[in-house]
Structure 1
Amino acid sequence: MTASRTAGLERLTLGFIPLLDAALPIIAREGGFFAAEGLDVALSRENAWSTLRDKLAAGLLDGAHMLAPLPLAMSLGISGAACETLAPLVLGRNGNTLVLSSRWSEGMPLPETAIPPGDPDPAAGARDFARRLRHRGGPPPCLAIVHPFSCQHYQLREWLALGGIDADHEVKRVVLPPSRMAEALEEGRIDGFCVGEPWGSLAQRRGGGRIVASGAQLWPDHPEKVLGVTASWAERHPATLAALIRGLTGAADWLGASPEHARQARDWLALPPYLDRAASHLETLAPDTGPARQRLGGDLRPSPAAMAPMAAHLDHALRARGGRLAPARLSACYSPVHFDAATHQERA
């Protein structure tokens, strides 16, 4: 780590939801990477994405670990009051799991037990689910998502569509915080969910359900979480934003440097202020493992083109309201300009 640098705003608060892809802010704080950039960063654990969104928009948070579609949804005014929001860095790729209760998933092809080795076709599980749904009759199964404007929601819809299931009429969808998914499944209040790790693997380990598909199967290597800041905050504090980006990239480089670092990162996430017992079943944060294919390092540079799958869903939501997603809005939200300035990268 480098000697301490002076940033424009030295004390700030970042919000996060207890998920594995909050790892980089946690590592940057616990490992001293923020401090090396002259930043005193407090991490505020939030329970729901809507709460985190509202606090960021109100200026109660300086930045946040955010669902990749949420900055654009905020900018467009389709998730809360309109608030121009930027995503200057990617915090994680992949990492979502689609879990069904044991009653609905018994005998289905599972990503972690595929023969030959490798992921099974997610469409096979979706078609199996469709057959069960129509054979059993009765009330529609209840599936939980974390937020309407989330990759989890869009990936769930696309998985259901692979089985010919109408997500708006053949299943019931509810919104729950990620940390409540496994418990709700065990109690029978929901029949399945799509969520970021570690909550899917935890539900499977506790016997409440089984992972039947992953977001990595549907959208390989997609940006799942981003750093979110309001455009007004970025304009007022450019030096702080640059220091924040450098602290997070330093944490990512450190995480990927050795298996020992991945195990240390897991221990930090398991501390009570962060994920606590929800991370107790994990041994490491080694990248690209398990059915979720979680990636917490690598290329953190944002790219509007990489947001195409989720942008299509947001455009659909806008068209339902008589609008349309302008390419310029997408490009402004996920521009790499702040990342490149902070890391001194020159890209075409």
Structure 2
Amino acid sequence: MQVSKFVFKPLTLAIALASISTSAFAVKNIEKPDLKFGFIKLTDMAPLAIAAEKGFFEEEGLFVQLEAQANWKVVLDRVISGELDGSHMLAPVPLGATIGFGTKADVITAFSMGLNGSAITVSNDVWAKMKPNVPAKDGKPIHPIKADALKSVIEDFKKSGKAFNMGMTFPVSSHNMKLRYWLAAGGINPGYYASPQDIGGQIDADALLSVTPPPQMPSTLEAGTIFGYCVGEPWNQQAVAKGVGVPVVTDDELWKDIPEKVFGVTKEWADKNPNTHIAVVKALIRASMWLDADKNKNRPEAVKIISDAKYVGADIRVLSNSMSGTFEYEKGDKRALPDFNIFFRGNASYPYYSGAVWYLTQMRRWGTNQRTQTR
């Protein structure tokens, strides 16, 4: 596959037009004005909600219906089938679909929906066992926390004959790759894929990773079905609020400004609707600019908007934790993380090749690209 599929030409024109806010400069000859876009209930769907609620879609001549989806597989299947015109999408999915892991299709992106925004959380019981292994200063754990602190916990699970289960959102997901990267750096084998014969990803695994839909992560952790997970917000902060888990590392601490979500469409749809695609990207860029404007002054309003049940539907206080530039680890241990959610700053809207290359290397490493993995 060609990495260039991660970037699409309409982005250049959309960026040039995005600062022009009047409808007089809207893209002309829209091929398909009535659109349905999907999303998963996560804070980084915010550009879609803001583009709708602030009228940016309408000013671009678009009439958009936003529809929450059950999980990331449903998102991909419905974009491919044409039931959705496009969707909030995991950053590696256009690459995975093009390669043919699971479902093969030409899915492309011209717009990054944001950088960072995820974390790895463990249960309270696991954290209690990890904590003695974590360096501290002034009585507080030093962050970022390495997976080394988890290794002895997993070894104890093995000795007792118990599997150490962890959740992630999709096999070809940013969360799967980040969680594997973190675990492996601590000497914990997260398992391998042997596609197409074995797509479970648990070959030789010390920690067994499996798919859990993002909104279900805290309750699945509380039930004891899994002992940790990697997911986007607000479902790490929700675990803290519910008193069922402790985030141990954020993705911004793993790799600063890591690409997290994109807006994905099929190549067939983009080829058929080039002007519509440009108008969509322009509206999303305007929404991202609004979200990051003037040192995040609009974030409190954005939190109120996405707290609505038709969008993320989480408590405003939980959403505010990460969206306001702070992050809570243990209950009461709230620290400044001003770049936890970036939507526009630092060219965050641009789907960089470097992001695609990193995800491709991780897919090769763990065997999801139908070739021998690198151990």
Query: TM-score category by the smaller chain?
Result: 0.7 to 0.9
Distance 2:218 2:367 in 1: 32
1:273 partner SS: coil
Q: How many pairs are equivalent? A: 319
- For 1:334, the equivalent position in structure 2 comes to none
Q: Does 1:227 align with 2:263?
A: yes
Contact map agreement 1:122 1:159 (CA 8 A) in 2: no
Letter in structure 1 aligned against 2:341: Q
Does 1:294 pair with 2:315?
no
**What runs of 5+ residues in structure 1 fail to find an aligned partner?**
325-348
CA distance in 2, matches of 1:121, 1:280: 24
> Which has more strand, going by share of residues?
2
Q: Which runs of 5+ in 2 are unaligned?
A: 1-20, 192-204, 328-336
1:86 aligned residue (104, 108, 115): 108
Checking the alignment, whether the CA contact within 8 Å between 1:141 and 1:190 is kept in structure 2 is: yes
Query: Partners in 2 of 1:166 and 1:197 — Cα distance?
Result: 26
Q: In the TM superposition, what is the alpha-carbon distance from 1:106 to its structure 2 partner?
A: 1.6
Q: Residue 3 of structure 1 aligns to which amino acid in structure 2?
A: S
Per the alignment, residue 276 of structure 2 pairs with 240
- 1:25-64 superposed matches below 5 A: 25-64=48-87
1:65–1:91 CA contact under 8 A, matched in 2? yes
For residues 197-241 of structure 1, give each alpha carbon's deviation from its aligned partner in whole angstroms, at most 9, with x where no partner exists. 100111112111100111111121011000101001110101001
TM score, norm. by length of structure 2: 0.79
Please say if residues 122 and 218 of structure 1, whose CA atoms lie closer than 8 Å, have aligned partners that are also in contact: no
RMSD value, Cα = 2.4
- 8 Å CA contact 2:122, 2:228 repeated in 1: yes
Shift of 1:282: 2.7
Matched, 1:263 2:300: yes
CA distance, structure 2, for counterparts of residue 189 and residue 118 of structure 1: 26
Contact persistence 2:177–2:362 (CA under 8 A): yes
* Matching residue of 1:311: 360
Cα deviation digits, residues 78-105 of structure 1 (max 9, x gap): 131x210111010011111100000101
TM-score, with normalisation over the residues of structure 1?
Answer: 0.85
Asked if 1:275 is matched to 2:312, the reply is yes
Distance 1:285 1:212, change over 3 A: closer
Cα distance change, pair 114–79 in 1 and its aligned pair in 2 (3 A): farther
Equivalent position SS for 1:27: helix
Check 1:244–1:287 CA distance in 2 against 1; reply closer, same or farther (3 A cut).
farther
Give the C-alpha shift of residue 277 in structure 1.
2.9
1:120 is aligned to 143
Please state whether the residue corresponding to 2:341 is helix, strand or coil.
coil
Distance 1:114 1:23 in 2: 35
Which one of the candidate residues 145, 170, 182 is aligned to 1:159? Answer: 182
